Structure 1
Amino acid sequence: MTGGDALRKAAVIVPVITIEGEPYLILTRRSRKLKSHPGQISFPGGIRDNGEELWETALREIEEEIGVDRDSVLFVHCLEMTETLVSRIEVHPFLALLSRRVFRLNKEEVEELIFVELSLFQRTKEEVIRLPSGEETIKYRLPGLVVWGATARIIAGSIDEILRKLSESGHINPFDED
């Protein structure tokens, strides 16, 4: 890449809802009809439009992909950026709480919503994957589901921060121990 080439930027929302007192991440399975990353597990999000702020991109995409009204998305925290290793896109994740559980899937982009208890990622050790390019990424092998690449790296790199920010915000208490 030459010095003048900038990576394309994307924004995703790392959406959390509470079910029976437990925090759950909402993941999507991308449509198998898509040219980019078909069938993969991801967070709602996409490529930034010219001049658009990244948070705006994330809000637009969560509305377009899974029908979540932006008024029900409560920003919590900016998480650490990662880069997709194959398509070379800079992905900026935003942790957010959803105040309503109303979803309308855009079937052209999203095949299904997947709700995963946050603690499952804490209990599951990530595995290293070596890509054909020689680069390494990670995956989580969950019951009936594999989460890998940028999505897995966002989760692995920020799970403790997610729990801390959710606790600080007063929306959950993930540290209830007997």
Structure 2
Amino acid sequence: MEKEQFSIRRPGMIGEEKFRQYAVLIPLIRISGVNYLLFEKRSNELKRQPGEVCFPGGKLEAGESIQECAVRETVEELMVLPQQIEVMGPGDIYLSPFNLMIHPFIGVISDYHDTFSRDEVEEVIKIPLDFFRSQEPERFVSKLISEPPEDFPYEWIPGGVKYPWAKGTYDVLFYKYEDWIIWGMTAQIVKSAVKLMEEYHLIP
């Protein structure tokens, strides 16, 4: 590294190595002239988040880019070909307070015929994009509280055991469409992605 490169470096993120990195595709499909967002209901046999409604995606593997990860997972979970997927671009990164970093990509799946892998997916769910354009999610605020370990060296900090730890919050969002609930991280990603689609005129 040279000193001259410092002024143009892309800043890293302190503590990024502690985040588990995932990528998801936000799939758009078009049926009879109507745009839909395509979701999955995760198999009840999965250990993590069984039965949850989500987008296709998964954990970043060594040697692949985050976009390659999103496409690979979509191919595996929805049983489509890579050439059926047109990635339009990246969404905004979602940082979970629980050490998860989600990299979304907005894309279009063409010629989709309701295929999916039953090992990971119980069923696919199509929700009109216009629903999310017109519907604000319900919002609930959850508290985050610092809880130091039992061997924390309170004698090293001003105030000791009475130190006024900062408290935080994070929003938990819910969309309700017919019998489906889209909530949590997926709802946050939906809200952000729909805003980007409007801002950049991605969808007519």
For normalisation by structure 2, the TM-score amounts to 0.74
What residue is the counterpart of 1:58 in the other structure? Answer: 70
Residue 142 of structure 1: how far off its partner (Å)? 1.3
Amino acid corresponding to residue 100 of structure 2 in structure 1: I
Q: Deviations over 1:82-138 (max 9, x none)?
A: 03445x321111001112213432112110000110011122221113447564321
Give the alignment of 1:115-154 within 5 angstroms.
Answer: 115-131=126-142, 135-154=170-189
Contact 2:43 2:122 in 1 (8 A): yes
Would you say 1:112 and 2:123 are equivalent positions?
yes
Q: Distance in 2 between matches of 1:19 and 1:55?
A: 25
From 90, 96, 117, give the equivalent of 2:101: 90
Q: Percent of aligned pairs with the same residue? A: 29
Q: Distance in 2 between matches of 1:103 and 1:34?
A: 20
Check conservation: 1:30, 1:37, Cα contact below 8 A.
yes
CA RMSD of aligned residues (A): 2.0
Whichever residue aligns with residue 184 of structure 2, its letter is G
* Cα separation, 1, equivalents of 2:188 and 2:130: 16
State the partner residue of 2:150: none
Deviations 1:17-64 (A, max 9, x none): 111212110000011111111111100000011121111111110111
Higher relative contact order (CA 8 A, sep 6+): 1
Distance 1:3 1:18, change over 3 A: closer
Letter in 1 for 2:197: I
Residues 68 and 132 of structure 1: CA distance in aligned 2, closer, same or farther (over 3 Å): farther
| Unaligned residue ranges in structure 1 (runs of 5+) | 174-178
- Look up the match of 2:7: none
> CA shift at 1:4, angstroms?
7.3
Q: In the alignment, residue 127 of structure 1 is paired with which amino acid?
A: E
2:80 to 68, 76, 79: 68
Which shifted more, 154-163 or 139-148? 154-163
Task: Give the TM-score normalised by structure 1.
Answer: 0.85
Report the residue type matching 2:39 in the other structure.
Answer: L
For this pair of structures, how many residues does the alignment match? 167
